[in-house]
C-alpha cells in the first residue's frame, strides 16, 4: 500500500487531494493522511444552514466546506487526523455494500488505537473509546476507484466542535431536496499526539515497513484543477440550497475565488 502523508494542508487543498487520488485511478491501494486548520466539513448531500452555528464559526474564524462524499458534518482542526483508503475499481473491497464497505477502514483505525495503548472498539459506522465516538466515516464508489475516509479525534478542540456543529438540523425545505442528516453523538479524543497517531495509522494499514511519501505530480495537478473549479466556488459549498442560504451562513462558506 502506498502511503501519501501530506501533513498540514489548507481545507480546500486537503479536500481536493482526497478527490484527486480517486481521479488519478490508482493501480493499487493508497492511504492518504493529512490534517488541517479549524474547519467544518459537511457531507455532499447536506444543507450547511441546517448543520452549523454560523455565529460560532465566525467567532472562531472557522469556514464551512462541502466534500464530495456523503455522510455527516465533522469539525476538523490541527488535532484531528484525516485518513482515507483509496482502492482501484476492481479491488474486492470496492464491491462491498454499506456498511460492510466501512469495515476495513474502521478495523485499521481501531487497530492503530490499540497499538497506542487506547482500548478501541468499532461498530458498523464508527470507532469508540469508552463508548464515545473518536472516528467518523464516509465513502465514494466511482468508476475510477472507491474511497473510504474518515477522522480520528486525537487532540481536537471538543468545545469548538460542539459549538460549531450546533446547527438547527431542520427547517423549511423551501421546495428544495431534503438534505441528509448528521448523527449527533458523544465524542472523545484518543489523546496520544498527532505524530504518534499518524505513524500508528500508517503501520496499521501498510505494515511496519510503511514509507510515507508526498502526493504525486498527477495528484497535485488534479488537486489544483479541483480547487479552482469546485472548492473555490461558494455555490458548491451551499449546494442546491445556495439561493436560500442566509447571509450569515453564506459568509462562512468556503472562501472567495482568487482575484484574476
**pLDDT at 42 > cutoff 90:** yes
Provide the pLDDT for residue 248. 96
Tens of pLDDT, residue by residue over 64-74, are 999 999 999 99
What is the architecture of the domain spanning 2-242? 2-Layer Sandwich (3.30)
Q: Which helix (H) or strand (E) holds 196?
A: helix 194-206
Provide the pLDDT for residue 145. 96
pTM given for the model: 0.95
**pLDDT at 257 > cutoff 80:** no
Provide the pLDDT for residue 209. 86
**pLDDT at 92 > cutoff 70:** yes
Contact 92, 201 (CB under 8 A): no
Provide the pLDDT for residue 259. 39
pLDDT range class, residue 256, cuts 50, 70, 90 = low
Provide the pLDDT for residue 128. 98
Tens of pLDDT, residue by residue over 164-179, are 999 999 999 988 999 9
**pLDDT at 77 > cutoff 70:** yes
What is the β-pairing status of strands 145-153 and 212-213?
Answer: unpaired
Neighbours of 254 (CB within 10 A): 24
Whose CA is closest to 165, among 245, 37, 84, 51?
Answer: 51
**pLDDT at 253 > cutoff 80:** yes
* Average model confidence (pLDDT) across the chain: 95
**pLDDT at 21 > cutoff 80:** yes
* % of the chain residues with pLDDT over 70: 98
pLDDT range class, residue 50, cuts 50, 70, 90 = very high
Mean pLDDT of 204-211: 92
Provide the pLDDT for residue 255. 83
Residues 177, 108: Cα–Cα separation, whole Å = 35
- Residue 135 backbone phi and psi in degrees, to 5: -140, 130
Amino acid at each position: 500500500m502506498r502511503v501519501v502523508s501530506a501533513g498540514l494542508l489548507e481545507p480546500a487543498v486537503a479536500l481536493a487531494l482526497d478527490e484527486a487520488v480517486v481521479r488519478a485511478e490508482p493501480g493499487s491501494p493508497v492511504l492518504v493522511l493529512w490534517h488541517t486548520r479549524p474547519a467544518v466539513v459537511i457531507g455532499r448531500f447536506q444543507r450547511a444552514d441546517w448543520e452549523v452555528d454560523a455565529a460560532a464559526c465566525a467567532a472562531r474564524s472557522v469556514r464551512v466546506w462541502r466534500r464530495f462524499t456523503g455522510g455527516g458534518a465533522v469539525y476538523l482542526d490541527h488535532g484531528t487526523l484525516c485518513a482515507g483508503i483509496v482502492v482501484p475499481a476492481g479491488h474486492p473491497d470496492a464491491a462491498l455494500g454499506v456498511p460492510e464497505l466501512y469495515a476495513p477502514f474502521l478495523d485499521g483505525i481501531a487497530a492503530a488505537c490499540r497499538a497506542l495503548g487506547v482500548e478501541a472498539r468499532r461498530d458498523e459506522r464508527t470507532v469508540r473509546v469508552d463508548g464515545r465516538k473518536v472516528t467518523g466515516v464516509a465513502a465514494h464508489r466511482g468508476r475510477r476507484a472507491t474511497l473510504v475516509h474518515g477522522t480520528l479525534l486525537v487532540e481536537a478542540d471538543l468545545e469548538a466542535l460542539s459549538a460549531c456543529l450546533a446547527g438547527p438540523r431542520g427547517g423549511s425545505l423551501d421546495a428544495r431536496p431534503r438534505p441528509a442528516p448528521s448523527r449527533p453523538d458523544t465524542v472523545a479524543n484518543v489523546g496520544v499526539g498527532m505524530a504518534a497517531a499518524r505513524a500508528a495509522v500508517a503501520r496499521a494499514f501498510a505494515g511496519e515497513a510503511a514509507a510515507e511519501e508526498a502526493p504525486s505530480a498527477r495528484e497535485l495537478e488534479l488537486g489544483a484543477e479541483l480547487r479552482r473549479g469546485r472548492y473555490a466556488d461558494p455555490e458548491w459549498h451551499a449546494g442546491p440550497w445556495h439561493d436560500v442560504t442566509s447571509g450569515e451562513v453564506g459568509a462562512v462558506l468556503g472562501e472567495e475565488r482568487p482575484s484574476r
